[in-house]
Amino acid sequence: MSTNRRDFLKTGATAALGFTGFSIITPEVLGKSMGHIAPSDKVNLACVGIGNRGNEIIKSLYDTGLCNVVAICDVDMGAQQTLEIMNMFPKAKQFQDFRKMFDQIGNEFDAISIGTPDFSHFPVTMLSIAEGKHVYVEKPMARTFQEVDLMMDAAKKHPKVVTQMGNQGHSEANYFQFKSWKEAGIIKDVTAITAHMNARRRWHGWDTEMTRFPGPEPVPSTLDWDTWLSQAQPRGFHKDFHNGQWRCWYDYGMGALGDWGAHIIDSAHEFLDLGLPYEINPVKLSGHNPFFFPMSTTLEFKFPSRGDMPPLTITWYDGLDNIPPVPDGYGVSELDPNIPPPSTGQIQPAKLNPGKIIYSKDLTFKGGSHGSTLSIIPEEKAKEMESKLPEVPESPSNHFANFLKACKGEEKTRSPFEIAGPLSQVFCLGVMAQQMGVKLEFDREKRQIVNNPLANQVLAGMPPRKGWEEFYQV
């Protein structure tokens, strides 16, 4: 065990998790545009979670030409989804358990990328920060409100550690446009935002009358299932918990909201200074059950006035049959442009791409997700406003280069934990409202749920299973 990790375990102050015995329902190619950079000037990177989305993160970081991939780690170093990265970086040291990677070669890397399931972002991140490693972690930051708090606290305790959450839009056109339009007074007096993601999800079609988790199946021979579970409660392997299927379950993922919310409402959340909501209301939960996410969800997040900005409500829609209303002059935002308009003559498009509609006192904006820019609607109003729009600067770096340049002291990250944490906690509160099926009233000052004692305890999530308590220390 490394010295830093021993110190981490010895001196960490255990977080007040509120474990009160309650029970809850648990269901070496160079980057094309970077020029030559000597290996000694690059960031030495370890990668945890190398299949599926983790695969894409690693390639994107490597393509900047700013890093050396020196270690790769995955609980299944032999599965089809991990072989490509293993073959791509044959000199990188290989591990199945991130803890062993830190113990054995913790002095050989400067930064870490984390592309594991939502629930297991937390322990890898906490150990990384404690060891002084810069952290790039996929969105959302963690599965529970309390875990995000601890991650933010750890980042504050180690201010030299660079953090970045992987909502790439924070380094693309939408981020800089929203910032410029807000500063120029184009976006002002916003009172409502509709955020929508209506595509098919992995759990659509599942049995919502399920009474228990699926029974255990044989564990694949190359998979370390115990390490995959990390701090979660013990449960037998099943194919529907693995390889992206984890996103379906409250125990492991954050559903459509956690998956897409960070790409749709992130810029509004930051530049409108929203912070945390005071009320989360589950307006619609079709197919609600205690194990996996509803077939369709409508959630209201209510935010108070902030300075000279009025109160604001974000309404989240997901589900195939839960298309939000759109205003007159919206235009078309269809997944397939060949789909004819509804014969009923409704204004509402047949299907909406993931995105948002922003309603202010004087203007209405529509936008997509990730880096998609906003446009003013209707078109006549957009033409009227055209001469008043400020010039929008281009991004100096993509999200991955921004992180690595920050590790080298050349930039500051645009989605550090102090920005990404409260956004992730909005999703944590929303998922709690989905799972419990009740309205939550949240005290922003005390950071507690005040209308439901059980929900207030759930803020901390279930206690970690034995052997994983060490990561709940700052």
**Whether the predicted pLDDT of 182 surpasses 60:** yes
- Owner of token pair 């029974």: 215
This prediction has a pTM of 0.91
pLDDT band per the 50, 70, 90 thresholds, residue 22: very low
Q: Which residues pair with 192 in a beta bridge?
A: 313, 359
Which 8-state DSSP code applies to residue 41? G
**SS3 assignment, position 197:** strand
Lowest mean pLDDT segment, chosen from 24-28, 335-339, 415-419:
24-28
Q: How confident is the model at residue 383 (pLDDT cuts 50, 70, 90)?
A: very high
CA atoms of 422 and 270, how far apart (whole Å): 9
Q: What does the pLDDT read at residue 40?
A: 79
Lowest-confidence region among 5-14, 238-247, 431-440: 5-14
The two structure tokens encoding residue 459: 């803020």
Q: What is the token pair recorded at 240?
A: 């529907």
Cβ neighbours for 7, distance < 8 A, ≥ 6 positions apart: none
Enter the tokens of residue 342: 């509804």
Q: Give the integer Cα–Cα distance in Å for 46 and 74.
A: 11
β-pair type (355-360, 312-318): unpaired
The structure tokens listed for 316 are: 């989240």
Angle at 457 between CA 453 and CA 463, to 5 degrees: 155
The pLDDT of 172-201, averaged and rounded, is 97
Question: Which pLDDT score is estimated for 349?
Answer: 59
Of the listed ranges 32-36, 312-316, 382-386, 462-466, the least confidently predicted one is 32-36
Q: Are 68 and 106 in contact (CB under 8 A)?
A: no
Contact 174, 370 (CB under 8 A): yes
The arithmetic mean of pLDDT across residues 47-67, rounded, is: 97
Q: Is residue 19 scored above 80 in pLDDT?
A: no
Q: What is the pLDDT of residue 26?
A: 44
- Contact at 8 Å (CB) between 366 and 356? yes
SS3 296: strand
SS3 333: coil
| Cα 199 to Cα 186: distance, rounded to the nearest angstrom | 31
Helices (H), 74-116: 80-88, 98-105
Determine how many CB atoms are found less than 10 A away from the CB of residue 236: 14
Say if CB 462 and CB 24 are below 8 A apart. Answer: yes
**Pairwise CA distance, residues 416 & 164, whole Å:** 5
**End-to-end Cα spacing for the chain:** 18
pLDDT of residue 178: 98
Strand 296-303 and strand 279-286: pairing? antiparallel
DSSP assignment, residue 290?
A: S
Q: Which CATH number fits domain 34-169: 3.40.50.720, 3.40.630.40, 3.40.50.1820, 2.120.10.10?
A: 3.40.50.720
Residue 38 pLDDT: 78
| Domain ranges (residues) in the chain | 34-169, 174-336+349-394+423-472
Peptide bond connecting 140 to the previous residue in cis, omega within 30 degrees of 0: yes
Express as a percent the part of the chain with pLDDT over 90: 85
Confidence of residue 333 (pLDDT cuts 50, 70, 90): low
- The predicted pLDDT at position 4 comes to 53
Residue 453 has pLDDT above 60, yes or no: yes
Closest CA to 128 of 67, 51, 46: 46
Name the burial class of residue 3, with classes exposed (0-12), middle (13-18) and buried (19+) by CB atoms within 10 angstroms of its CB: exposed
Question: Could you say which DSSP state residue 473 is in?
Answer: B
Q: What is the pLDDT of residue 34?
A: 45
Q: What are phi and psi of 400, to 5 degrees?
A: -75, -45
Contact 256, 197 (CB under 8 A): yes
Q: Nearest 10 degrees: CA dihedral of 410, 412, 413, 418?
A: 150
pLDDT over 70 percentage in the chain: 88
The DSSP 8-state label assigned to residue 312 in this structure reads E
* Block residue for tokens 């998956």: 259
CATH of segment(s) 174-336+349-394+423-472 = 3.30.360
Tokens 């490693």 locate to 133
- Location of structure tokens 């950071």: 447
Separation of alpha carbons 149 and 144, rounded Å = 9
Confidence class for position 33, pLDDT limits 50, 70, 90: very low
Tell me how many degrees the CA angle 59-196-278 measures, rounded to the nearest 5.
105
* Tens of pLDDT, residues 109-161: 999 999 999 999 999 999 999 999 999 999 999 999 999 999 999 999 999 99
Identify any residues that bridge with 473 across adjacent strands, giving them in sequence order. 14
In which element (H, E) is residue 135 found?
Answer: strand 134-137
Contact (CB, 8 A) for 121 and 254: no
Choose among 81, 86, 83: nearest CA to 51.
81
What average pLDDT does the segment 342-346 reach?
A: 44
State yes or no: pLDDT of 27 exceeds 60.
Answer: no
